[in-house]
């Protein structure tokens, strides 16, 4: 780590701001007291990996550290510094990227960049939990790669004991920020405009070294005609000194200053131009600059004089203590507050007329204008939800129930906010209200009613097909006739509100469920374009995640992966429920599409396979299609881990569906074929017969024939199996699962075993051709029980007519047994499972006994087992005897049968 340096000299840092100061570091006020002692402690502490500075609001954390950074930058002793403001947008991946760049890991050559740059995170208490967990992980596992200073209002859950002992972690408490008597007296004299020792002594005694109380008390006293009497009164009254002083200071300000603070006090960061707009005062920038001189009321984040900015771009932050006073004043009301409310409302109306509604709703709530906020929600509610998740809408409904009840036109936006947050219970209440209003004297727009009906249908409150038919009619009416005489392509919904793309998205989701995939693709694609045109990125990404499943179910796995990757790229932070649902949906689509590709293409599955089957999938309660595919992924993961029986158990569990809905045909076929494949691996002829009959009742001829082929192959009738598989390949089928390709490969395996090599290779060649575009390797895993190995067939086909895709498949299956042979040793037969259920005894093997049993399942001799496990043959025999005793068997075949039924191998 960089060795600590020492600071020399004291005095004010007023003026002389270094031109080489790091960007984003708060500007120092003109009346700034240099905290040399504090700086020396920070300098020593930041030689370690993580430094945590914890102190309450008003203690001087930000300006104290900013002064240290700027002074160090002037002397060139701190090295490069990255200063960021902590908030919910700093997700774990974003924090990781920042730390990597600071450590020099962004270099593509990967060379060691030496000592990491210092990263300062102000307001670190506002970081999401995932970011704090990542910092803690870096602190525990790679402290040499980070140099981090966290400024927080409260303690953070970081690992302490070992990092502190090793010098990687340092905790700086708020007591370090207390000013000494000399520092406090200097600061008071600069703000109270008096050197009266009694006044200074009273203020210092009252503030007890805290910067905020010192400055606020000094400014309050400076505004009083008798400073000495006022100081003594403050000294005697010690209840809530910070809030009391902030109230006193606010009351002592000039009317224009109070008006400005009432208008902009709830803005986290305000620029001079925004202040002018919200206050309707051309001198607002000058007033902010004057307030900034205190170093407490307003903090200057950028300065046009030194940063080369336009004066209107200067940015300021209102101190938290003063912001609390402003909120209380607005709640109480008064003449000043009424004037501020009307001024802000005027500014909001101007923004709406300009088409800028990004902050309008929050500003109306901040100045307690609920009726205006409800009116805005009625017209721009969907856009408000789409921009930041609409988290303020739920707070607004709780605070002002009367205002929202008086504006039925806003109910749909309230319902949508709860819907996208995953709170379907509260959303259902508002959706019901929307439908009731639809039949009243002042009905809502048909687009909102149609959208509400589809949401309710997904909850099982009406048939989805009926809601979809109604939505199709409403969309057709909203499109209107095509434009005449227009030379360029124009969206049929150009100029429409944000409700239309929401309606199209809901329509596409429902059509995905019903199996109308081509129309779902059109509607979702159109919705994505409309969302992007309005800047609603989260909505667009959510629709794209549903489009990924549309493409997957149409057999376009490569397009599915691209759509899912684009969704994740758009939603790097995932801070709102809508974004988290979309990311989880996209990751699920990636996993499913990846499972069908070649093994070396599915490395992204390793994270999913390492965790539990439900890990990483956050499903919206009404997302039926995603819930179905989660079940399929769980089953496939169980099979990949080696347990066909567990995969069958997962698929046999009933899927919770709305009362009015049954599983649609295209998903029924996919589930039945998946279940048939597992039944074939576990010798379940009865299950195959039942699946064939159920597929026949719904008219799925191709899937029925494929299951019949598996059943004939299981019974040892290759000719009947070939006939059934050929029928499956010839009949129309759903793209998912790839029945035709799987049937063609099974035909090739069986024909080759029957000595008909030319026909076998022709069938295999056709399977290779139709899977090339999809990159679907699943058909080549070897699903025939009595056919030739796929590897030998591919090798011979490659010698005759080689293609790049064929070579990839051949390399993937080289040296591997087919799926049937792979699972044969570990999958219990129906008879073995029945015997295991009747015994019901518990069996526990040691790790070494399990290893011996796995070798026996591979057909190894005692000598082979001894060589593989580096033990003697006598030791192997001892373990085998113990295994036989625990399993209550006397021979290897019985031991393996019991082990398969108990998932011991």
Q: Which helix (H) or strand (E) holds 170?
A: strand 169-172
Average pLDDT (720-749) is 93
Reported confidence tier of residue 534, pLDDT bands at 50, 70, 90: confident
pLDDT at 216 over 90: no
Reported confidence tier of residue 856, pLDDT bands at 50, 70, 90: confident
Average pLDDT (697-723) is 94
To the nearest 10 degrees (0 to 180), the angle between helices 255-264 and 335-354 is 50
Reported confidence tier of residue 836, pLDDT bands at 50, 70, 90: low
The confidence score (pLDDT) of residue 246 equals: 61
Average pLDDT (506-521) is 95
Average pLDDT (563-576) is 84
**Interacting residues of 557 by C-beta distance below 8 A, sequence separation 6+:** 551, 593, 596, 597, 774, 775, 776
pLDDT at 435 over 50: yes
How far is it, in rounded angstroms, from Cα 679 to Cα 668? 16
For tokens 């549309």, the residue is 550
Q: The tokens of 108 are what?
A: 């593509």
| Most confident residue range from 70-84, 99-113, 260-274, 513-527 | 513-527
| Stronger pLDDT, 97 or 893, i.e. the higher one | 97
Question: How high is the mean pLDDT of the chain?
Answer: 81
pLDDT tens digits, 668-703: 999 999 999 998 888 888 899 999 999 999 999 999
Judged by average pLDDT, the poorest of 11-25, 182-196, 266-280 is 11-25
Long-range contacts of the stretch 251-256 (C-beta < 8 A, 24+): 252/219, 252/220, 252/223, 252/224, 255/336, 256/281, 256/283, 256/287
The confidence score (pLDDT) of residue 154 equals: 84
pLDDT tens digits, 36-74: 777 888 888 888 899 998 887 767 788 888 888 887 765
Q: Is the dihedral of CA 55, 56, 62, 68 positive or negative?
A: negative
How far is it, in rounded angstroms, from Cα 754 to Cα 721? 12
The confidence score (pLDDT) of residue 108 equals: 41
Cis before 640? omega within 30: no
**First CA to last CA distance, the chain:** 50
How far is it, in rounded angstroms, from Cα 139 to Cα 147? 10
pLDDT tens digits, 286-345: 888 887 765 556 777 765 555 556 667 788 888 777 787 888 888 888 888 899 989 998
Average pLDDT (809-837) is 73
pLDDT tens digits, 636-677: 888 887 788 888 888 888 888 886 678 999 999 999 999 999
Reported confidence tier of residue 863, pLDDT bands at 50, 70, 90: confident
Judged by average pLDDT, the poorest of 83-92, 338-347, 463-472, 733-742 is 83-92
Q: Which helix (H) or strand (E) holds 83?
A: strand 81-85
**Interacting residues of 861 by C-beta distance below 8 A, sequence separation 6+:** none
Task: Give the phi and the psi of residue 122 in degrees, each rounded to 5.
Answer: -80, 150
Average pLDDT (66-85) is 74
Task: Give the phi and the psi of residue 494 in degrees, each rounded to 5.
Answer: -60, 135
| Stronger pLDDT, 220 or 744, i.e. the higher one | 744
pLDDT > 90: what percent of the chain? 29
Q: What dihedral do alpha carbons 443, 466, 552, 416 form, nearest 10°?
A: 20
Judged by average pLDDT, the poorest of 195-204, 390-399, 791-800 is 195-204
Reported confidence tier of residue 586, pLDDT bands at 50, 70, 90: very high
pLDDT tens digits, 449-503: 999 999 999 998 999 999 999 999 999 888 766 544 444 344 555 445 788 999 9
How far is it, in rounded angstroms, from Cα 621 to Cα 56? 40
pLDDT at 98 over 70: yes
pLDDT at 371 over 70: yes
Judged by average pLDDT, the poorest of 256-270, 333-347, 540-554, 820-834 is 820-834
- Tell me the residue length of the chain: 905
pLDDT at 181 over 70: no
């Amino acid at each position: 780590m960089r060795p600590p340096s020492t600071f020399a000299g004291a005095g004010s840092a007023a003026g002389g701001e270094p031109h080489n100061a790091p960007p984003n570091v708060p500007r120092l006020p003109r009346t700034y007291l240099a905290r040399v002692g504090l700086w020396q402690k920070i300098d020593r502490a930041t030689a370690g990996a993580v430094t945590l500075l914890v102190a309450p609001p008003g203690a001087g954390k930000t300006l104290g550290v900013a002064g240290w950074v700027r002074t160090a930058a002037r002397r060139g002793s701190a090295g490069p510094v990255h200063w960021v403001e902590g908030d919910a947008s700093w997700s774990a991946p974003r924090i990781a990227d920042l730390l990597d760049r600071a450590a020099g890991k962004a270099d593509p050559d990967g060379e060691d960049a030496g000592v990491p740059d210092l990263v300062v995170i102000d307001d670190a208490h506002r970081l999401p939990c995932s970011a704090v967990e990542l910092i803690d992980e870096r602190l525990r596992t790679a402290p040499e790669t980070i140099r981090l200073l966290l400024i927080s209002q409260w303690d953070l859950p970081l690992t302490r004991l070992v990092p502190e002992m090793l010098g990687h972690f340092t905790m700086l408490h708020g007591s370090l920020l207390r000013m000494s008597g000399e520092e406090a007296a200097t600061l008071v004299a600069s703000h109270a405009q008096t050197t009266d020792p009694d006044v200074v002594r009273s203020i210092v005694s009252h503030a007890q070294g805290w910067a905020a109380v010192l400055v606020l008390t000094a400014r309050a006293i400076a505004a009083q005609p008798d400073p000495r009497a006022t100081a003594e009164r403050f000294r005697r009254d010690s209840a809530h000194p910070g809030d009391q002083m902030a109230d006193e200071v606010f009351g002592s300000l000039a009317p224009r200053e109070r008006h400005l603070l009432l208008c902009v006090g709830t803005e986290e960061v305000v620029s001079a131009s925004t202040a002018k707009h919200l206050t309707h005062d051309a001198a607002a920038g000058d007033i902010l600059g004057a307030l900034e001189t205190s170093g407490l009321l307003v903090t200057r984040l950028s300065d046009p004089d030194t940063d080369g900015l336009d004066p209107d771009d200067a940015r300021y932050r209102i101190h938290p203590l003063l912001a609390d006073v402003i909120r209380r004043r607005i709640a109480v009301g008064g003449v000043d507050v009424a004037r501020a409310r009307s001024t802000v409302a005027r500014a909001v109306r101007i923004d709406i007329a300009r088409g800028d509604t990004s902050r309008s709703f929050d500003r109306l709530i901040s100045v307690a204008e609920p009726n205006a906020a409800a009116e805005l929600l009625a017209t721009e509610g969907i856009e408000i939800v789409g921009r930041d998740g609409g988290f303020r809408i739920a707070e607004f409904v709780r605070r002002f129930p009367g205002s929202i009840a008086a504006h039925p036109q806003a109910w749909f936006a309230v319902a949508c906010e709860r819907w996208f947050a995953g709170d379907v219970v509260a959303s259902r209440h508002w959706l019901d209200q929307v439908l009731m209003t639809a039949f009243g004297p002042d009905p809502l727009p048909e687009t909102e009613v149609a959208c509400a009906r589809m949401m309710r249908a997904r909850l099982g409150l009406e048939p989805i097909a009926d809601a979809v038919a109604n939505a199709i009619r409403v969309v057709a009416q909203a499109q209107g006739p095509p434009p005449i005489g227009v030379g360029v392509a124009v969206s049929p919904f150009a100029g429409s509100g944000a409700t239309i793309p929401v309606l199209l998205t809901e329509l596409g989701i429902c059509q995905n469920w019903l199996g109308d995939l081509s129309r779902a693709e059109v509607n979702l694609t159109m919705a994505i374009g409309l969302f992007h045109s309005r800047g609603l990125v989260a909505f667009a990404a959510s629709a794209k995640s549903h489009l990924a499943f549309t493409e997957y179910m149409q057999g376009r796995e490569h397009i599915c992966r691209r759509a899912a990757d684009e969704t994740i790229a758009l939603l790097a932070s995932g801070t709102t429920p809508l974004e988290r649902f979309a990311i989880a949906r996209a990751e699920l689509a990636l996993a499913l599409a990846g499972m069908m590709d070649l093994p070396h293409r599915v490395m992204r599955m390793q994270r999913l396979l390492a965790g539990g089957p439900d890990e990483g999938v956050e499903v919206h309660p009404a997302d039926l299609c995603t819930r179905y595919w989660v079940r399929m992924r769980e089953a496939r993961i169980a099979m990949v881990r080696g347990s066909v029986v567990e995969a069958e158990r997962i698929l046999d569990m009933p899927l919770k569906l709305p009362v009015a809905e049954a599983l649609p045909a295209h998903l029924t076929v996919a589930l039945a074929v998946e279940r048939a494949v597992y039944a074939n691996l576990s010798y379940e002829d009865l299950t195959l017969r039942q699946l064939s009959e159920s597929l026949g009742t719904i008219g799925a001829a191709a899937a029925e024939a494929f299951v019949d082929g598996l059943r004939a192959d299981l019974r040892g009738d290759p000719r009947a199996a070939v006939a059934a598989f050929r029928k499956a390949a010839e009949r129309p089928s759903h793209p998912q699962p790839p029945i035709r390709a799987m049937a063609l490969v099974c035909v090739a395996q069986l024909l080759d075993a029957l000595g008909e090599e030319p026909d076998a290779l022709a069938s295999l060649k056709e399977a290779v051709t139709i899977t090339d575009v999809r990159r679907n390797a699943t058909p080549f895993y070897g699903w025939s029980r009595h056919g030739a190995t796929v590897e030998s067939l591919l090798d011979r086909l490659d010698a005759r007519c080689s293609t790049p895709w064929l070579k990839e498949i051949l390399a993937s299956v080289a040296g591997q047994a087919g799926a049937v042979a792979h699972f044969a040793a570990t999958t219990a037969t129906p008879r073995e499972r029945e015997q295991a259920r009747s015994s019901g005894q518990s069996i526990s093997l040691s790790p070494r006994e399990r290893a011996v049993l796995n070798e026996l399942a591979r057909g190894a001799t005692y000598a082979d087992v001894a060589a593989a496990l580096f033990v003697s043959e006598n030791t192997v025999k001892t373990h085998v005897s113990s295994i036989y005793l625990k399993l209550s068997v006397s021979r290897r075949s019985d031991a393996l049968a019991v082990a398969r039924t108990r998932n011991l191998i």
